[in-house]
C-alpha cells in the first residue's frame, strides 16, 4: 500500500517538476506539505506524536519511491524522519515529544540535524561548538556546516561540547527552536546536486536555550548521534535506490525509442549489458536495505547492515546514473533529459551521513569484532 501511494505521488507530484526545482534551487514547499498530509514526514513515529506508526521497511520503500521522483524531496524527507524525528523519538521525554516531535512528524514543521562543523567533517567527536550551563539556561556558541534544511527548518537537533576534557564523552545533544535570537544562517550553498533542498552554515552567538531542551542526559550526545546515523543510513540507501531506479527508467525508455543501425538500440548487446548490470545491482541494493530495516524493526544489531546497504546502494546510484548517460549518449549530457540530474544527485549519497570510506571502516570494525567473539 505504501509503495503504491508513494509511487503515485512521485509520478504525479514530483517527477514532472523535479527538473524545475533543481534548475531554480526551489524548495518544494507544496510537495513537502502534501508529504506531511500523507503521513510520510513521520513514518515510524507513533500516531500519538503525529506520525504514521509504520516500520523501517516501510520507510525504506517510501524513501526509494519518493527519491525516484525527486532526490531533493527525498533528502528533505529523510532528514525529517531519520535525523530529526529519530533522536527525539528515541531519547526525548514526554514533554519534548509533545512540543518538538509532534509538529515535525505531522509535517506542519520541518526539522534539521546539526552535527558537522567547518573543521570536523567525518570526525564527529571533535565538536568545537560549546554549550555552557549557566544555571537557568544553556549558552551556545559555535557554527555547524553542511546542514540540510538549514533555511527551512523550524527546529533542529544540535550537538555541542559541554565538557571538553572528556572529548567525545563530553558532547551533549539539544533541541533548538531555530527562531531563537542569536542564530544566523549563511548563504544557501550552490551544490552539484539535490539543489532543491537548502544547505547552509548555521552560526550560534550567545544563544540561550532552556535547560529543558537538553536531549537525553548530559554527555550522551555522541552516542545519540551515532545511533541516529545508523538508522539514517537506511534512509540514504533508500534515496540512492530511488536515484538508481530513476536512472534505469530513463535509460530503458530512451533505448527503446532511439533508433540506430535500423533498430532500437535496446537490441544492442552493449546497451543490454548496461541495463542488466543496473537492474541486478538495484535488486541487490534493495535486499541489503530491507535486511537492515528488518533487523532494526526487530531491535537486533543492524549497524554493519545499514553501513553495507548505504555503501552498496550509494555506489550503485553513481554507477547507474553514469551508465544511463552512456546509454543516452549526447542526450544524457544535456538538461533536456533527467539523466544528468540523476548523475549529479547520486554523488552526494556517497558523502553525507558517512562517506563510503567511513562505511567501510564501520563494516570492517563490526566484522572483526564478530570474528573475535
Encode pLDDT of 181-206 as tens digits: 999 999 999 999 999 999 999 999 99
DSSP label at residue 168: G
Question: What average pLDDT does the segment 352-359 reach?
Answer: 95
Neighbours of 212 (CB within 10 A): 12
φ/ψ of 161, rounded to 5, equals -80, 125
Q: What pLDDT, on the 0 to 100 scale, is given for residue 119? A: 76
Calculate the CA 197 to chain-centre distance: 11
Q: Are the C-beta atoms of 42 and 164 separated by less than 8 Å?
A: no
Catalytic site residue from 13, 65, 117, 353: 353
Does 94 participate in catalysis according to the annotation? no
Q: What pLDDT, on the 0 to 100 scale, is given for residue 122? A: 56
User: Residue 121: pLDDT above 90?
Assistant: no
pLDDT-derived band at 155 (thresholds 50, 70, 90) equals very high
> Among all chains, which residue has been given the C-alpha cell 550522551?
220
Question: What average pLDDT does the segment 119-143 reach?
Answer: 86
Question: What average pLDDT does the segment 28-52 reach?
Answer: 97
Which SS3 state, helix, strand or coil, does residue 304 take? helix
User: Residue 147: pLDDT above 70?
Assistant: yes
Which SS3 state, helix, strand or coil, does residue 47 take? helix
- How distant, in Å, are the alpha carbons of 170, 216, 259, 297 from that of 93? 21, 8, 62, 21
Is the pTM higher than 0.85? yes
Amino acid at each position: 500500500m505504501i509503495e503504491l501511494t508513494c509511487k503515485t505521488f512521485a509520478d504525479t507530484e514530483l517527477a514532472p517538476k523535479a527538473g524545475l526545482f533543481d534548475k531554480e534551487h526551489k524548495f518544494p514547499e507544496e510537495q513537502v506539505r502534501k508529504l506531511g498530509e500523507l503521513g510520510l514526514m513521520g513514518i515510524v513515529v507513533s500516531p500519538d506524536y503525529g506520525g504514521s506508526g509504520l516500520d523501517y521497511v516501510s520507510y525504506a520503500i517510501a524513501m526509494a519511491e519518493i527519491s525516484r521522483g525527486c532526490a531533493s524531496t527525498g533528502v528533505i524527507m529523510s532528514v525529517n524522519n531519520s535525523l530529526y524525528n529519530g533522536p527525539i523519538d528515541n531519547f526525548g521525554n514526554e514533554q519534548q515529544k509533545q512540543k518538538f516531535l509532534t509538529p515535525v512528524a505531522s509535517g506542519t514543521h520541518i526539522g534539521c540535524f546539526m552535527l558537522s562543523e567547518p573543521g570536523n567533517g567525518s570526525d564527529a567527536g571533535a565538536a568545537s561548538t560549546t554549550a555552557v550551563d549557566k544555571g537557568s539556561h544553556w549558552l551556545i556558541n559555535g557554527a555547524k556546516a553542511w546542514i540540510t534544511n538549514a533555511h527551512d527548518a523550524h527546529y533542529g537537533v544540535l550537538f555541542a561540547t559541554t565538557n571538553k576534557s572528556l572529548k567525545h564523552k563530553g558532547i551533549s545533544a539539544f533541541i533548538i527552536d531555530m527562531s531563537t535570537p542569536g542564530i544566523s544562517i549563511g548563504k544557501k550553498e550552490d551544490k552539484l546536486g539535490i539543489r532543491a533542498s537548502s544547505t547552509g552554515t548555521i552560526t550560534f552567538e550567545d544563544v540561550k536555550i532552556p535547560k529543558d531542551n537538553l536531549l537525553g542526559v548530559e554527555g550522551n550526545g555522541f552516542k545519540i548521534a551515532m545511533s541516529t546515523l545508523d538508522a539514517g543510513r537506511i534512509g540514504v540507501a533508500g534515496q540512492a535506490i530511488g536515484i538508481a531506479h530513476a536512472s534505469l527508467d530513463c535509460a530503458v525508455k530512451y533505448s527503446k525509442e532511439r533508433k540506430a543501425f535500423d533498430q532500437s538500440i535496446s537490441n544492442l548487446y552493449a546497451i543490454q549489458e548496461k541495463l542488466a548490470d543496473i537492474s541486478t545491482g538495484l535488486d541487490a541494493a534493495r535486499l541489503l536495505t530491507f535486511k537492515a530495516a528488518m533487523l532494526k524493526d526487530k531491535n537486533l544489531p543492524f549497524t554493519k547492515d545499514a553501513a553495507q546497504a548505504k555503501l552498496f546502494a550509494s555506489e550503485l546510484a553513481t554507477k547507474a546514473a553514469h551508465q544511463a548517460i552512456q546509454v543516452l549518449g549526447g542526450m544524457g549530457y544535456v538538461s533536456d533529459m533527467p539523466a544528468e540530474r540523476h548523475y549529479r544527485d547520486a554523488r552526494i549519497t556517497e558523502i553525507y551521513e558517512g562517506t563510503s570510506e567511513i562505511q567501510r571502516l564501520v563494516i570492517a570494525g563490526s566484522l572483526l569484532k564478530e570474528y573475535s567473539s
